[in-house]
Structure 1
Amino acid sequence: MDTEEFQLPRSQAANERLHAMIPGGAHTYAKGDDQYPENLAPVISHGRGAHVWDVDGNRYIEYGSGLRSVSLGHAHPRVTEAVRREIDRGSNFVRPSIVEAEAAERFLATVPTAEMVKFAKNGSDATTAAVRLARAATGRPRVAICGDQPFFSVDDWFIGSTPMSAGIPSAITDLTVAFPYGDLAATEELLARYQDEVACLILEPAGHTEPPPGYLTGLRELADRHGCVLVFDEMISGFRWSEAGAQGLYGVVPDLSTFGKALGNGFAISALAGCRELMERGGLRHLDDRVFLLSTTHGAETHSLAAAMAVQTTYVEEGITAQLHALGERLAVGVREAATGMGVGDHVVVRGRASNLVFATLDENGQPSQQYRTLFLRRLLAGGVLAPSFVVSSALSDADIDHTVDAVAQACAVYRKALDVGDPTSWLGGRPVKPVFRRLA
């Protein structure tokens, strides 16, 4: 066991301050210090490009930046300049800004499968608006979610289906049902079981694996045949799969889709997009019952809309999606070679599309292990790599990836020692990291 101890005393003190005032010590559960080894949860001072610095003065190469939202790197000059320009002109008014029209035009040109768009601040608002709109349009109560995917919204219709369902009445949770990804027969059986009750199918069109051949087309046909709305959650796949999202890459058009994360490169903006027939129900030019679609005080702040326009321009003009895939491929090859070279190729496993890589840490029986994840994260942090995932940003350099692969190799050497003794406890430094969705703290 390496006796050199990596410590973060100022981050520890800052985490105590955070917990004293903020439930969970963070504003997103996935950023909680329970997701990191004990006493090794860095509190960030600032970031630039692919690097962040903690309050202890350590610099890290960062992956999964801003929970996948900062895909161009921190403080990207084109984005920050666009934001500064709009801030000097005012950010929020009593009537729509012309920037709202410009941002909508830019979005619909980038995602041509959509006919209308409405902006908000976070992904949950957009997905919940999609669910509400689907229920209004169909007159049906149930929502069918893809049960193999981890997250759709903070709102009751989804959180009630997780282990953290405290405070949500069963009358609400009973209206959410689940279907498995990639299994059209099981989905059709679900729709038949709840005939004329399911308002929508909502899923991420792609995740850690590619859609099986014909799957998304088959879902489109099922939704049409059963009269429900097909919703693609493109919070992650938007821009990372293609500038027009997974729907643009795979050529399957949903009725509604939601975007966020990469759309603002860290600035708060999300989008609900879709066909005019449905979206207009949230507007003023129709004869049906009005749908309270999205109405947010800060949803159209001009600086966030400017950020989104700069992001889209940068993606298109600089070929960012292709860059993300190339960087991810280089990283995946390097990590796999490092793991194999240290004899843990079957235990440290890289998965997912190159632009959206994650890793699994498996024990001696090939089962997912929070203990081995803790060991792995500890060694990466000590090596200057902050990596809850291996999701890349375009700001990474080849040198950053080479450094990451070296840190992975060192971590895998310790991983091999732990496997050899059949117990990683000596290398944990405290309690193991924990899953986000669990019933008890």
Structure 2
Amino acid sequence: MTTEEFAEESAEEFHLPESRAANERLHAVIPGGAHTYAKGDDQYPEGLAPVISHGRGAHVWDVDGNRYIEYGSGLRSVSLGHAHPRVLEAVRRELDRGSNFVRPSIVEAEAAERFLDTVPTAEMVKFAKNGSDVTTAAVRLARAVTGRPRVAICADHPFFSVDDWFIGTTPMSAGVPAATTELTVAFPYGDLAATEELLTRYRGEVACLILEPAGHTEPPPGYLAGLRELADRHGCVLVFDEMITGFRWSEAGAQGLYGVVPDLSAFGKALGNGFAVSALAGRRDLMERGGLRHSDDRVFLLSTTHGAETHSLAAAMAVQTTYVEEGTTARLHALGERLATGVREAAAGMGVGDHVLVRGRASNLVFATLDENRQPSQQYRTLFLRRLLAGGVLAPSFVVSSALDDTDIDRTIEVVAQACAVYRKALDAADPTPWMAGRPVKPVFRRLA
């Protein structure tokens, strides 16, 4: 049997009856069938959206009993692998001591001190539960200290917050007043001249520039330093969203790697290895405006009932210790480099090297699926995902965790080669429909369901 025939036959035989039934249960009681739109079954081929039973290391098992090599774990949050022993040990130790009290726990001081040791470019930190909490807190704080209404977001960053100041700019803006959306303006990544033009056009109105400091490409030389200078000259707050870059670029995030210090920064995802914890960090004079030791108007910065649960803070401390002591960031880069090289070689070997592309920093790889005209295609993404799933690879991206090993990477490359063989056949036919077996996967941000 040829590689093409094996890939096609295995995909045709693959089905998930228990997961399909579980998805129906989820939709019956949860809007969208998931608690994050990016986890929705519309993001996967029709009938092939696994519902997870459990995970360990770099592997997860679905309710049908299938095991997968998993990438992008927990939307990039589980960077050490599932059920990491050092993290679980720290969490269990705190659970027996209570998780939430009427006054701060000493763990809060310990966690804050550990964070500031890890991210020395920050002077104070406040913890919360998710990324939207802390990015929105940064925006509110910037507006308060500058007295300005507008927020300037990087147009090339796909997501900042579930709150109105950002969601109003997306196709899913239903329920957001137009007056709120009008206060958010956008600037392009990497273009200092365009950003300066924006700040000049809205002179004295922009409270902050907020962006992910790095993404699928490295920042152009001098770009982040140039933004720092623009923010200072125009009197606005520079905010780095380090949800993804935090820990994956360096233990101290992109700011630690590139040496440009923002006024405020937001961390999350990898910080808790799946446990719910995020952090707003920054300059003392700004952060203190959300505190008690100043004479200005008070800012309602962050006040969360569960933001300082002891077990989540213990998880964060264990994650930071593991990264530093085990060189986790370097391992993520090494694994990603090996995977990227193998996927590119497999795609080229099957004649689709110009159509299945791997992009991004090695520790944060994504893939693009292009059609016969080399345009991004949800149809070809559907075909590709079907073949990966059939081969036991759950990969909405190729974002690695440190729990992967060489065997996992080798198997992934083998499955990618099988998928690319079918991809080539679809390209030759100029029609991927026969290999999709249903509707295409859909973008998260769209106006209609």
Q: Give the structure-1-normalised TM-score.
A: 1.00
C-alpha distance in structure 2 between counterparts of 1:32 and 1:324, whole Å: 27
Cα displacement string for residues 118-144 of structure 1 (whole angstroms, at most 9, x for unaligned residues): 000000000000000000000000000
C-alpha distance in structure 2 between counterparts of 1:163 and 1:203, whole Å: 20
Q: C-alpha displacement at 1:60, in angstroms?
A: 0.1
1:301 paired with 2:309, answer yes
1:183 paired with 2:214, answer no
Where does residue 400 of structure 1 map in the other structure? 408
Where does residue 284 of structure 1 map in the other structure? 292
- Candidates 194, 208, 212, aligned match of 1:200: 208
Where does residue 95 of structure 1 map in the other structure? 103
Cα displacement string for residues 87-128 of structure 1 (whole angstroms, at most 9, x for unaligned residues): 000000000000000000000000000000000000000000
C-alpha distance in structure 1 between counterparts of 2:89 and 2:428, whole Å: 53
Where does residue 383 of structure 1 map in the other structure? 391
- Give the SS at the match of 2:292: coil
1:120-269 aligned at under 5 Å gives the runs 120-269=128-277
Where does residue 372 of structure 1 map in the other structure? 380
Where does residue 320 of structure 1 map in the other structure? 328
Q: C-alpha displacement at 1:384, in angstroms?
A: 0.2
Where does residue 340 of structure 2 map in the other structure? 332
- Candidates 34, 37, 51, aligned match of 1:26: 34
- Give the SS at the match of 2:247: coil
Q: C-alpha displacement at 1:5, in angstroms?
A: 2.0
C-alpha distance in structure 2 between counterparts of 1:379 and 1:91, whole Å: 43
C-alpha distance in structure 2 between counterparts of 1:398 and 1:158, whole Å: 40
C-alpha distance in structure 1 between counterparts of 2:155 and 2:148, whole Å: 20
Q: C-alpha displacement at 1:317, in angstroms?
A: 0.2
- Give the SS at the match of 1:289: coil
Q: Give the structure-2-normalised TM-score.
A: 0.98
Q: Share of identical aligned residues, percent?
A: 89
1:16 paired with 2:24, answer yes
Cα displacement string for residues 407-429 of structure 1 (whole angstroms, at most 9, x for unaligned residues): 00000000000000000000001
C-alpha distance in structure 2 between counterparts of 1:366 and 1:414, whole Å: 17
- Note the residue ranges of structure 1 that are not aligned, 5 or more in a row: none
C-alpha distance in structure 1 between counterparts of 2:196 and 2:372, whole Å: 38
- Give the SS at the match of 2:226: helix
- Give the SS at the match of 1:299: coil
- Give the SS at the match of 1:349: strand
- Give the SS at the match of 2:344: helix
Cα displacement string for residues 383-431 of structure 1 (whole angstroms, at most 9, x for unaligned residues): 0000000000000000000000000000000000000000000000100
C-alpha distance in structure 2 between counterparts of 1:225 and 1:151, whole Å: 27
> Runs (4+) of structure 1 moved beyond 4 Å?
none
- Candidates 401, 423, 426, aligned match of 2:431: 423
Matched positions, count: 441
- Candidates 65, 68, 81, aligned match of 2:73: 65
1:438 paired with 2:446, answer yes
C-alpha distance in structure 1 between counterparts of 2:398 and 2:115, whole Å: 28
Where does residue 270 of structure 1 map in the other structure? 278
Cα displacement string for residues 292-316 of structure 1 (whole angstroms, at most 9, x for unaligned residues): 0000000000000000000000000
Where does residue 412 of structure 1 map in the other structure? 420
- Candidates 354, 358, 377, aligned match of 1:346: 354
Where does residue 110 of structure 1 map in the other structure? 118
